[in-house]
Structure 1
Amino acid sequence: MKKDLKFEDLPDAVGLLLQIVEFLEIELRTIKENLQTKVPLGLMKRNQVSQFFQINLATVHNWTKRGVLKSFGVGNRVYYKRKEIEDALVKLFR
């Protein structure tokens, strides 16, 4: 499907292309937001646990191995229940 473009038609064609690109960017952003994995309420990721306790990820790993924290695996991801994290905080400071 070949169309003959004249030099005087170029500004309109470029404007149309820019509108199409802007529309596609918005659509892609919407699709990306919908595809991102959502963490259910009440669950925390490892980095959130480390920020909560103000410790590094190695300490979170060690506490999990020692049974101080209980983790839950979903696929290849690790989550912690917020309630259990708060309970562990109380136990740590007794």
Structure 2
Amino acid sequence: MVKEILQLESTNANDFKNEIVKDITLALKGYATNLQNPDNETLLTREETAKLLSVSLVTLWDWTKKDIIPAYRIGNKVRYKKSEVFKSLNQKNQFGQL
């Protein structure tokens, strides 16, 4: 475990606060950009998607076959976009729809 020590000299509390606020704002803008960027989409495996939804692989396959949840074939692997999984659930969020 490495301990980092930060020593401040020749700065006042207001300047220090402004620097912290500026860095946090930059970090949050970067985070927001990543959330809005579809190129940075998280792809899930069948197992991860089934675990996320708390269903069996058979149920997930059935929902995929019925076009309830869109899937993508990459070579011989099947992947699900995390945002589309949640979007599909929101669209089918009425009792008895799945």
TM-score by length of 1: 0.54
Equivalent residues, number: 55
Instruction: For structure 2, list consecutive stretches of 5 or more residues without a partner in the other structure.
Output: 1-39
| Structure 1 unaligned residues grouped into runs of 5+ | 1-39
Task: Find the structure with the greater CA-based Rg.
Answer: 1
- Between the aligned residues of both structures, percent identity stands at 25
RMSD of the TM alignment (CA)? 1.4
Equivalence for 1:49: 49
- 2:83 match: 83
Distance 2:70 2:50 in 1: 14
Which whole-Å deviations, capped at 9, do the CAs of 1:10-33 have from their partners, x for residues lacking one? xxxxxxxxxxxxxxxxxxxxxxxx
Distance (Å, rounded) in 2 between the aligned partners of 1:66 and 1:41: 23
Matched letter for residue 77 of structure 1:
K
| One-letter amino acid matched to 1:92 | K
- Which structure: greater helix fraction? 1
For residues 74 and 84 of structure 2, the distance between their equivalents in structure 1, rounded to whole angstroms, comes to 17
- 8 Å contact kept, 2:50–2:57: yes
Aligned partners of 2:92 and 2:56: how far apart in 1?
A: 16
